Amino acid sequence: MEKEKKHILKGGEFLIKETKADDIFIPEEFDEEQKMIIQTCEDFLETEIFPNLDRIDEQEDGLMRELLSKAGELGLLGISIPEKYDGFEQSFTTSMLASASMGSGYSFSVAYSAHTGIGTLPILYYGNDEQKEKYIPRLASGELAAAYCLTEPNAGSDANSGKTKAVLLEDGKHYILNGQKMWITNGGFADIQIVFAKIDNDRVLSAFIVEKDFPGVVINPEEKKMGIKGSSTVQIFYNDCMVPVENLLGKRGGGFRIALNILHMGRVKLGGTVLGAAKTTINQSVNYANERKQFGTEIANFGAIKYKLAEQVIKTFVTESSVYRVCKNIDDAIQLLVDSGVEKDKASIEGIAQYAIEAAFLKVYGSEVLNYVVDEAVQIFGGMGFSAETSIDRAYRDSRINRIFEGTNEINRLLVVDTTIKKALKEGFDVIRYANYIIRVLKEVKEVEKTNLSYYDEKKQYVRNFKKTALLLLGVISEKFQRKLTEEQEILFNISDIIMQSYAAESALLRVRKLGQINGEESVKIYKDIIDVFIYDVANNIRKAGMDAINSFAEGEEQEILIKRINFFTKVRAINVKDARRRIAEKLIEDNKYKF
């Protein structure tokens, strides 16, 4: 056990500690049971979802609710649920691959994710035995559908400012709930609502399990939306709603922590859910490029199209590598807690919460990757991409919400830096002292660049330097701005981007190295092209973000020193990115499908 602990990095520790390829999980390691789950998801989408996309988008009465029930009959709603509650009790990694597979289901994937994640897990993780026995088996089977009710008209990112109130009646048997919730996914048909409200004059939220048939629950008509049109989204009013005291979820005043921890899980899952949508869109892109002819040849033969196809692949591959890396961390953290005597439910939520930093930036990174993929798909399709006759139109519109879901990307970018600094201080790593050391070394000693390294050692050195860039800036801005740091959002965004791109680069590198160890180096030549292009691009992106940050606060000698440091940390060997991208695109074109 002690040996295992050494290889499990805590959340955010990737910035200061090395990760070995052997210690990550890669999608190529899915076992037969996991592959069967993927196949079940794909078969369900092919038979139940894809033929009915127009009916779903038209919100045909009862259809989405029926589809969730059918998914429940196949066991797809109970993958994370313990066996004693009629679930399959699978790992976090396995539940992620189901989310990723379902991610290509357009609006259905939203309903599925809301039900299995933020709708069901608050009861599973925070409910008492009676609440779990009453609701969880029926949620796992699809007999009940769930929704999560946190957002209010004046309480979005600042969730704790919500005005919904609960007052305990004198008989002590019921709370009277009054308030309004909005943008509630599945709200139009959900049987169970996880509702957040403040009891009496409490400063913090509590959580309640509310059944839609409780007196005083009023559900508004469906919202009209830009995308995910088939997803039920409504406002819900609670007018003197009678809630039994036994439906208080967790402890009084514990609702904000429940909301926060469930959002960590939702953010990680969103980073994985986009993978299904991205891969499906890439398949549609290459299929069309292989069929559409202009100037006497398929447009797939044009360098401009190959560039787009290659970038779609690179970004998706890197995202997938990052997602399953953190899944392994979460599963390992949960198991360590269980082994130390912590109950599984509590261990699960604590294990996920440990990786709040990774959850925040994977949500941002994944949603922006999908945005790129669908946008370039429209461009590859040309005029047909702008037509509602193709699913590319739907993919483009549906993608946009992901940058808002589970906390906006702006909020999550801020969380990445804020949480990293706080965690560093808590874990005893002084970012200010580190930054001052790096600056002093630059002034006193001319650092020698290492040469003649092996392929992987060279790339690892680059990634190590990317992480040093983030640590250097974290230390400098912490010392310079101190309590006013939260006011410097533009600089925080710069550093957040450096952190997430460093993690993405390292994750892809570790995946390719492990794959090479398993199948031999010859088998990963095309993946090395992905690494080469991505790290080359990341170096330039990090340099730009670093320069933007430095030039926003530094002058004179300090500015000069910091710029020299950033230039050193982002220096990488030149590569022929054109040929590398063409090789990636040509594999995709030959396969006519994403097979990376």
CA-CA distance, 134 to 395, in Å (whole number)?
Answer: 38
Pull the structure tokens for residue 431: 């970012």
482, pLDDT greater than 60:
yes
Contact 253, 204 (CB under 8 A): yes
180, pLDDT greater than 70:
yes
> How many Å from the N-terminal Cα to the C-terminal Cα in the chain?
34
Long-range contacts of 485-491 (CB under 8 A, 24+ apart): 485/421, 486/414, 486/418, 488/552, 488/553, 489/410, 489/414, 490/548, 490/552, 491/549, 491/552, 491/553
Looking at mean pLDDT, say which of 106-110, 421-425, 449-453 comes out highest.
106-110
Percent of the chain with pLDDT over 70: 97
Q: Which amino acid is at 182?
A: M
Pull the structure tokens for residue 355: 């990786």
DSSP string of 75-105, one letter each residue: TTT-SSS-GGGTS----HHHHHHHHHHHTTS
CA-CA distance, 410 to 496, in Å (whole number)?
Answer: 10
pLDDT value for 6: 46
- Superfamily for the 27-145 domain: Acyl-CoA dehydrogenase/oxidase, N-terminal domain (1.10.540.10)
| Mean pLDDT within 123-148 | 97
3-class DSSP string for 26-68? CHHHCCHHHHHHHHHHHHHHHHHHHHHHHHHHCCCCCHHHHHH
CA-CA distance, 391 to 356, in Å (whole number)?
Answer: 34
At 3, the pLDDT band (50, 70, 90 cuts) reads very low
pLDDT value for 442: 61
Contact 140, 85 (CB under 8 A): yes
pLDDT tens for each residue of 376-397? 999 999 999 999 888 899 999 9
In the chain, what is the greatest distance between 2 CA atoms, to the nearest angstrom? 81
DSSP one-letter code for 406? T
* Residue 287: C-alpha distances to residues 298, 299, 374, 511, 596 (Å): 11, 11, 14, 27, 16
At 1, the pLDDT band (50, 70, 90 cuts) reads very low
Number of neighbouring beta carbons within 10 Å of residue 482: 9
3-class DSSP string for 229-247? CCCCEEEEEEEEEEEEHHH
Predicted TM-score (pTM) of the model is 0.94
- Please name the residue that has the structure tokens 């040469």: 451
4, pLDDT greater than 50:
no
Contacts of 549 (CB under 8 A, 6+ apart): 473, 477, 491, 494, 495
SS3 331: helix
pLDDT tens for each residue of 212-250? 999 999 999 999 999 999 999 999 999 999 999 999 999
Q: How big is the CA angle at 444 (ends 443 and 449), to the nearest 5 degrees?
A: 85
**Phi–psi pair at 56, nearest 5 degrees:** -65, -45
pLDDT value for 223: 96
DSSP string of 434-478, one letter each residue: HHHHHHHHHHHS-PPPP-S--HHHHHHHHHHHHHHHHHHHHHHHH
CA-CA distance, 22 to 82, in Å (whole number)?
Answer: 29
CA-CA distance, 532 to 235, in Å (whole number)?
Answer: 48
| Mean pLDDT within 266-278 | 95
Domain ranges of the chain: 27-145
Query: Parallel, antiparallel, or unpaired for β 174-185 and 146-149?
Result: unpaired
| Beta bridge partners of residue 298, listed in sequence order | 293
Query: Parallel, antiparallel, or unpaired for β 297-298 and 293-294?
Result: antiparallel
Query: Parallel, antiparallel, or unpaired for β 192-199 and 206-211?
Result: antiparallel
Dihedral, CA of residue 96, residue 535, residue 425 and residue 434, to nearest 10: 170
pLDDT tens for each residue of 519-530? 999 999 999 999
3-class DSSP string for 186-254? CCCCCCEEEEEEEECCCCCCEEEEEECCCCCEEECCCCCCCCCCCCCEEEEEEEEEEEEHHHEECCCCC
CA-CA distance, 547 to 179, in Å (whole number)?
Answer: 47
Contact 363, 267 (CB under 8 A): yes
CA-CA distance, 291 to 222, in Å (whole number)?
Answer: 39
Contacts of 340 (CB under 8 A, 6+ apart): none
pLDDT value for 400: 96
The mean of the pLDDT values for the chain is 93
Q: How big is the CA angle at 337 (ends 503 and 335), to the nearest 5 degrees?
A: 70
pLDDT value for 5: 46
Dihedral, CA of residue 282, residue 287, residue 290 and residue 295, to nearest 10: -90
At 443, the pLDDT band (50, 70, 90 cuts) reads low
Active site includes 13? Answer: no
At 73, the pLDDT band (50, 70, 90 cuts) reads very high
DSSP one-letter code for 408? -
pLDDT tens for each residue of 396-422? 999 999 999 988 999 999 999 999 998
At 158, the pLDDT band (50, 70, 90 cuts) reads confident
449: exposed, middle or buried (C-beta count within 10 Å: 0-12, 13-18, 19+)? Answer: exposed
55, pLDDT greater than 90:
yes
Dihedral, CA of residue 344, residue 121, residue 10 and residue 454, to nearest 10: 110
Contact 259, 207 (CB under 8 A): yes
Among the options 152, 406, 488, 506, which is catalytic?
A: 406
pLDDT value for 450: 64
